[in-house]
Structure 1
Amino acid sequence: MEVMDTVGLKNIAVTLVLALFVRWTWRVLNWLWVRPRKMEKCLRKQGLNGNSYRFLFGDSKDNSEMVQIARSKPITLADDVVARASPFIHHTVKKYGKNSFMWFGQTPRLLITDPELIREVLTKNYRFKKLKQNPIVRMFSNGLGSIDGDQWTQHRKLLTPAFHLQKLKLMLPVMYISCTEMVRKWEKMLERNGWCEFDVVPYLQTLTSDVISRTAFGSSYKEGSRVFEIQRQQIELVMKSLQSVYIPGWRFLPTKNNRRMKELYDKIQSSLESIIDKKNKAMQAGESSSDDLLGILLESISNEQLQNGPRNVGMSLDDVIGECKLFYFAGQETTANVLVWTLILLSNHPDWQTRAREEVLQVFGSHGTPDFDNLNQLKVVTMILHEVLRLYPPGDTLIRKVHEETTLGGLILPAGAEISLPILLLNYDQKFWGEDAKEFNPERFAAGVSNATNNNLAAYVPFGWGPRICIGQNFAMLEAKLALATILQHFSFELSPSYTHAPTIVITLQPQHGAYLIIHKL
């Protein structure tokens, strides 16, 4: 009898193991093949075109190869930026038209180029959600830009006071200190001949890094500036991760990249924990918390805890660290790139450089200190910055995902599909910008953004749109105006013969080989 019971138990165990194996095998097969093929069939029935699904990788390998080929060849300032910076999107639209889709691994990405549909996607953020980042990317940045739902609502509420206009006005003198320090460095380099040729990229990166360090971390700005250096090292590892299909559990393998990413992650965590601890102790000692972004955020959290109780405030220490990382990367990288492309384009268009300088000198004089009110008088400078953001937006694409079947315009989107909003492609579309869409013409913004886009406002979204519009856009524009005005007060500049035009995406759109200019002292 006992033998029969033992045999019976073994049979049950074997049956359970086989059932689990069959279930697991089906789930893997469904993930890798059945589900993607069903989604492809659904999209093609609606008149959408794209490559056929290829097992596991989809279009990822083609995308990586096209990026490598594009990066191997510089272009001229008159050539197509989209073809070099976003080669696979350019190739897909050219081959299949704007109503097309691409494959990112096992997931189809629909290209959405109609501004009305873009407006709907960015407005209805409860239906069209941010992608859940793979763990490698989350180690780099996991702040407001990558969270959804109630967590996003809570973080946005707590962060908003830090970006009120009155707070930004108080930060302007600190920004100006960083600008004048860079000016002094350039003047010293120009002392001998009155001019000098150099790559402006590292100087502008240092400038914006210094600005965000001072405005985000106050007296701890020198320690904060080390965060940027670590993040620069992380970017290359993140790009490798973004260009490949993430396999669940891969981050636990002791690969060279994984070990290095973990090492850099630990360094940033330690640095930011130390900065936050110092700020908390300073606030407890009665020091002002209203002069930097971190202090304002911590004060906002403290006030919320007093009103609703500590357990009802959804922002932990790790959350604060995540937002600090985002402060740092988004605040530094975006503005640095805008300034770099602005100097390049004004070097290539000396007439606009002259107009901008004349405006700055008229408003500030040659040695006047810019303030908030007179920065708002810089109409030509504002037009130029808008045109730079059109031609060289920091991000080339916005990605969203639907988690349940939904409609968009006349399309039925299957659950799990992703939506690609090709910002760079739209910014060069003659339908919205006219026949001179590829040309640098700030005059198009003379009567404002609405007029420039023929009321298709969602055709121009350098800072996003809708509820999730970039919380730091006013900060970035204020800093860019101040920095550009300060440079124009003291210098003129032209392209160096050694300048190589090579726009490329390394998380943001930036010059692959730097920006070598010839700077002259006025």
Structure 2
Amino acid sequence: MAVLSASTLLLLLQDAVRVGTLVALLLLARGVLWLAHMMVIAPPFDPLRKLPGPDAPALQNHFREVMDPNISPDTHHDWVGRYGKMFRFHGFGRHDYRLMAFDFRALSHILNSPIYEKPWQTRTFIARLLGRGVFSMEGEEHKIQRRVIAPAFSTSSVKAMAPIFFQKAEELRDRWLALIHTSSTSPTAVQQQQPIPSTNKAGQSVIDISHWVARATFDVIGLAGFDYHFHALQDESEDVYLAYRKMFNVQDKGPGLKAIVSLFFPIINTLFPDDGLRTTKESLRTINEAGKRLVANKKAAILAEKASAQDIDDKDILSLLIKQNLSEESSKRLSDVELLDQLSTFLFAGSDSTALSISWCLHLLSLNPEMQTRLREEIASLSIASPTGASPTGGALKADCIPDSGFAETFSPLPAPPTHPSSTIPSDSSAAHCDAIDALPFLDAVVRETLRLCPPVHGIIRVATQDDLIPVSSTVHMRDGRVLSQDEHIKIKKGSYIHVPIEGLNFSEDVWGKDARAFNPERWTALPASARHPGLAGVMTFSFGPHSCPGWKFTILEMKIFIASILPHFVFSPAEGVEIRKFNAILTRPYVKDHWDEGTKLPITVTPYCG
């Protein structure tokens, strides 16, 4: 019986091996067929194949040409000149035809139609970092989330956050004055903080603007978004702040081959975890645990407020979000997990993207001293005093000339920030000051021109979820000699990718004129008809349609208040011997040429203004 049992087991094992081998062969055959279909069979029938565009060898792609901000402006200019406003290029090899659109009629169709969604690869990547928030959702879920978060980003809600913008801008100003004072008394200590060796002259310092502004905007979104104090400007030690920075320092290195492949085969991350993946998981755990506490506490406080009939005027985004969510029908409410995902989304979009925009603005002003002077004088023309009760915003403050400026022989350490900064600023004073700054025409032009030249997001991708016909506003010369007129359409098949080149559209000479790549705020006083397209704020930076950036008003007002609060006190000029370049890592970030391994850096020479 034992021998029979052993024989039976042997036969069963042999059968299992045969079945396993058969399954493996079937999977291999399916993989080969899929590969053959993708690379050989399908491409000849792809309608995009007939469009004009650059060619490439079988396994070559054009991703670097269209996504590296150091060469993409020349690529876009060259391709539009050769192929027109609608053309195709190669994605992952010659078989992968992708559409690139510079035609605003086509873009309006693509960005407003429910047929076109973010690719699942993009949504998966975003969801890994930020959860299932408004940036990673599509369809009905996306509509519900947009409806719930909309009141938090209305004009009145954003203006109610202005006191926090003012306070953190002035706190940043004081930190820079302190840094310059330290550089005058202890140059070596300051040089150790710089991204590259630099010599600070008396009364000035080379400051990594991007690092400091990011700390300030992180504080802003903590208070304005969740009524949470990171105190990043004072001390970079708070757990959530550190977790966030560690996680995005990993992402700043860009997706390697393993990260790209793992999108298609997630098991790779389980089988072969690396230090970057472990850091990201640990950081997400810290952020999510803190977020759960924030959502639970805020929700409990709001429910208690309702039960006791109190009227607590919470203006932070999370409070507004929870209140709006509770007012929705139960079937359309967001769960606590979904609220947490919105928190993670706001933390990212409300800090880094705005910080980059402010940093790029100061960089452009440093390169254009005459415009910097003009803007400083416009800000100085305001007669209204700072809403914090500190020195006037205008040029009356001579940062290194008066004892109470924070930069004098009587310099003293900064006081601890108040527990509730917004409560220290009279709302009527803040509103008046906010409106006065928001109405400054040249400041508005400088902000919009910065967003045009330095969009935080270099480009976006959409995928067709079904076959479609895309209308065009200009002729398209097909590869077979046919010419599509304005009354015809471009055919696109289900699964095709469309690249929307935000930077390319913002740099287009057809839209902005021959000086499209020049920093020229004056253009906003008389925009040509070609530049009056439907992009929010007049540029494609925030996109348009159902997936446009919901926080664009927040970003613009925060930028204006920071620039208006800082510029009167400093002169910005390029750091000697430093060339600033751009790189893409989710957002378009600055780095010092030949120092890419040091990550995001934007050193600028900062001198206290004494007009």
Q: In structure 2, what is the Cα distance between the partners aligned to 1:16 and 1:372?
A: 72
Residue 331 to residue 103, structure 1, CA distance change in 2 (3 Å): same
Write the distance in 2 (CA, Å) between the matches of 1:87 and 1:27.
Answer: 41
In the TM superposition, what is the alpha-carbon distance from 1:100 to its structure 2 partner? 2.0
1:500 corresponds to 2:490 = no
Partners of 1:94 and 1:276 in 2: CA distance: 52
Kindly provide the amino acid, as one letter, of the partner of residue 206 in structure 2.
Answer: E
Q: Deviations over 1:261-295 (max 9, x none)?
A: 32222222112112222222332443836320111
Deviation at 1:87, TM superposition (A): 8.4
Counterpart-to-counterpart distance in 2, 1:364 and 1:33? 71
Question: Partner residue of 2:602?
Answer: 515
Secondary structure of 2:161 counterpart: helix
Deviation at 1:228, TM superposition (A): 4.2
Q: Cα offset for 1:380?
A: 0.2
Q: Secondary structure at the match of 2:120?
A: coil
Per mean C-alpha deviation after superposition, the further-off stretch among 484-493 and 470-479 is 484-493
Give per-residue Cα distances to partners, 1:38-77, cap 9 Å, x unaligned.
443224552344446856xx62xx746998xx7xxxxxxx
Distance in 2 of aligned mates of 1:281 and 1:45: 57
CA RMSD of aligned residues (A): 3.3
Residue-by-residue CA offset, 1:444-482 (whole Å, 9 max, x unaligned): 11146xx47443445931001112221100000000000
Partner of 1:248: 265
Shift in CA distance, 241/92, structure 1 to aligned 2, threshold 3 Å: farther
What residue number does 1:361 align with? 380
Asked if 1 retains the 8 angstrom alpha-carbon contact of 2:70 and 2:583, the reply is no
What is the match of residue 300 of structure 1? 324
The code of the aligned residue for 1:300 comes to Q
Q: Distance in 1 between matches of 2:90 and 2:82?
A: 12
> AA paired with 1:347?
S
Q: Give the alignment partner of residue 433 of structure 1, picking from 512, 515, 539.
A: 512
Pairing 1:137-156 to 2, within 5 Å after superposition? 137-142=126-131, 143-156=133-146
- The one-letter code of the counterpart of 1:467 is P
Deviates more, 1:145-154 or 1:488-497: 488-497
The one of 337, 360, 363 equivalent to 2:356 is 337
Q: Residues 316, 90 of structure 1: CA spacing in aligned structure 2 closer, same or farther, 3 A cutoff?
A: farther
Mapping for residues 457-476 of structure 1, pairs under 5 Å: 457=534, 460-476=539-555
Could you say what secondary structure the match of 1:274 adopts?
helix
> Equivalents in 2 of 1:323, 1:220: separation in Å?
18
Sort the Cα spacing of 1:45 and 1:493 in 2 relative to 1 into closer, same or farther, 3 A: closer
Aligned to 1:418: 497
Contact 1:144–1:326 under 8 Å retained in 2 = yes
Task: Give the distance between the partners of 1:435 and 1:346, measured in 2 at CA.
Answer: 21
Q: Cα distance 1:30–1:295, how it changes in 2: closer, same or farther (>3 A)?
A: farther
2:557 corresponds to which residue? 478
Q: Look up the equivalent residue of 2:103 and give its one-letter code.
A: D
- Residue pairs, 1:446-461, within 5 angstroms: 446-447=525-526, 451=528, 453-457=530-534, 460-461=539-540
Determine helix, strand or coil for the equivalent of 1:440: coil
**Aligned CA distance change for structure 1 residues 454 and 268 (closer, same or farther; 3 Å):** closer
CA-CA distance at 1:152 after TM superposition: 0.3
Which moves more between the two structures, 406-415 or 340-349?
406-415
Q: Give the deviation of 1:225 after TM superposition.
A: 6.4
Match of 1:351 among 370, 373, 376: 370
Contact 1:137 1:241 in 2 (8 A): no
Contact 1:187/1:521 (8 A) holds in 2: yes
SS of the aligned residue for 1:100 comes to strand
Q: 1:375 to 1:407 in 2, by over 3 A?
A: same
Inter-CA distance 196–13: structure 2 relative to 1 (3 Å threshold): closer
Q: Do the aligned partners of 2:382 and 2:436 also contact (CA within 8 Å) in 1?
A: yes
User: How many angstroms does 1:392 deviate by?
Assistant: 1.0
> CA 1:433–1:86 in 2, change beyond 3 Å: closer, same or farther?
closer
Change beyond 3 A, Cα 1:54–1:31 = farther
**Residue 40 of structure 1: which of 40, 43, 46 is its match?**
43
- DSSP 3-state at the match of 1:99: strand
Please give the secondary structure, in 1, of the residue aligned with 2:377.
Answer: helix
SS state at 2:461 partner: strand
Matching residue's letter, 2:608 = K
Aligned equivalents of 1:185, 1:491: Cα separation in 2 = 12
Separation of aligned partners in 2, 1:372 and 1:424:
30
Q: Distance in 2 between matches of 1:152 and 1:241?
A: 29
The one of 80, 103, 106 aligned to 1:117 = 106
- Conserved in 2, the CA contact under 8 Å of 1:136 and 1:241? no
| Partner AA of 1:234 in structure 2 | M
The answer (yes or no) to whether the contact 1:395–1:507 under 8 Å persists in 2 is yes
Task: Give the Cα separation in 2 of the matches to 1:13 and 1:93.
Answer: 59
The CA deviation at 1:35 is 2.8
Matched with 2:405 is none
Q: 1:382 aligns with which of 417, 429, 444?
A: 444
TM-score by length of 2: 0.72
Aligned equivalents of 2:561 and 2:209: distance in 1? 17
Counterpart contact for 2:206–2:575, Cα < 8 Å: yes
Cα deviation, 1:65-96, whole Å, max 9, x if unaligned, reads 998xx7xxxxxxxxxxx443678878877897
Report if aligned partners of 1:144, 1:156 keep a CA contact under 8 Å in 2: yes
Any conservation in 1 of the 2:63–2:91 contact (CA below 8 Å)?
no
User: Is 1:407 aligned to 2:469, yes or no?
Assistant: yes
The amino acid across from 1:291 in the alignment is K
CA distance in 2, matches of 1:19, 1:38: 26
Q: Kindly, what percent of the aligned residue pairs are identical?
A: 24
CA distance in structure 2 between the partners assigned to 1:247 and 1:87 by the alignment? 32
**C-alpha spacing 1:454/1:180, structure 2 compared with 1 (3 Å):** closer
Aligned partners of 1:314 and 1:150: how far apart in 2?
12
What is the total number of aligned residue pairs between the two structures? 489
CA contact (8 A) 2:510 2:530 kept: no
- The 8 Å contact of residues 50 and 101 in structure 1, kept in 2 or not, is answered as yes
Q: Distance in 1 between matches of 2:347 and 2:74?
A: 29
**Counterpart of 1:272 in 2: which secondary structure?**
helix
1:273/1:321 contact within 8 Å kept: yes
Pairing 1:18-37 to 2, within 5 Å after superposition: 24-25=27-28, 27-37=30-40
Question: Aligned ranges for residues 42-441 of structure 1 at < 5 Å?
Answer: 42-43=46-47, 45-51=49-55, 54=58, 59=61, 63=63, 82-84=69-71, 99-104=87-92, 107-124=96-113, 126-133=114-121, 135-142=124-131, 143-191=133-181, 192=184, 193-221=202-230, 226-238=239-251, 239-240=254-255, 244-245=260-261, 246-249=263-266, 250-256=268-274, 257-286=276-305, 288=312, 290-304=314-328, 308-309=329-330, 312-364=331-383, 367-368=392-393, 371-409=433-471, 410-441=489-520
Name the SS of the counterpart of 1:295 in structure 2: helix
Paired AA for residue 248 in structure 1: F
Does structure 2 conserve the Cα–Cα contact (< 8 Å) formed by 1:144 and 1:323?
yes
Q: In 2, distance between residues paired with 1:86 and 1:37? A: 32
The answer to whether the 8 Å contact 2:112/2:545 transfers is yes
Q: Which moved more, 1:112-121 or 1:99-108?
A: 99-108
Cα 1:157–1:184 change in 2 (3 A) is same
Return the letter of the residue paired with 1:436.
Answer: D
- TM-score normalised per structure 1: 0.84
- Partners of 1:299 and 1:276 in 2: how far apart? 12
Q: Which amino acid counterpart does residue 340 of structure 1 have in structure 2?
A: S
Task: Structure 2 unaligned segments of length 5 or more: list them.
Answer: 1-11, 185-201, 385-390, 394-428, 472-488, 593-600
